[in-house]
Amino acid sequence: MNIYLIMEFILCFIQNQPFQEYLEVYLGLGQYISTETGTNKARKLNLPMEAQCRRLHCTLRDLSSLLQALGRLVEHFIAENFHDRMADAVMLVEK
């Protein structure tokens, strides 16, 4: 695989607007989660409408797919490959 193509994809991927929106949805879930009192202390997701639940499901599925793709590309930039490819990555980012 061409290192420049991989780096360009990763940069575009992270700056991608849908990716940012999916992260915001995920990080904002805390406001819809309640913890029940009592012995079980179960957590419950409170979404007022079924359509919101379906949309959340699709958003989280898409975020999961994007993170999986990113994870598969990361292996090209860790361990023994890191130092060799870091200079190329820095040069590409500076462009």
- Provide the strand spans (E) within 1-95: 33-35, 43-45
Torsion of the alpha carbons at 57, 72, 74 and 77, rounded to the nearest 10: -170
> Which position has the higher pLDDT, 75 or 59?
59
pTM for the whole structure: 0.64
Say what the pLDDT of residue 54 is.
92
Q: What percent of the chain has pLDDT over 90?
A: 11
For the chain, domain boundaries: 3-28+48-94
pLDDT of residue 61: 94
For residue 8, pLDDT over 70 is answered with: no
Beta-carbon count within 10 A of 22 CB: 21
- 20: pLDDT strictly greater than 80: yes
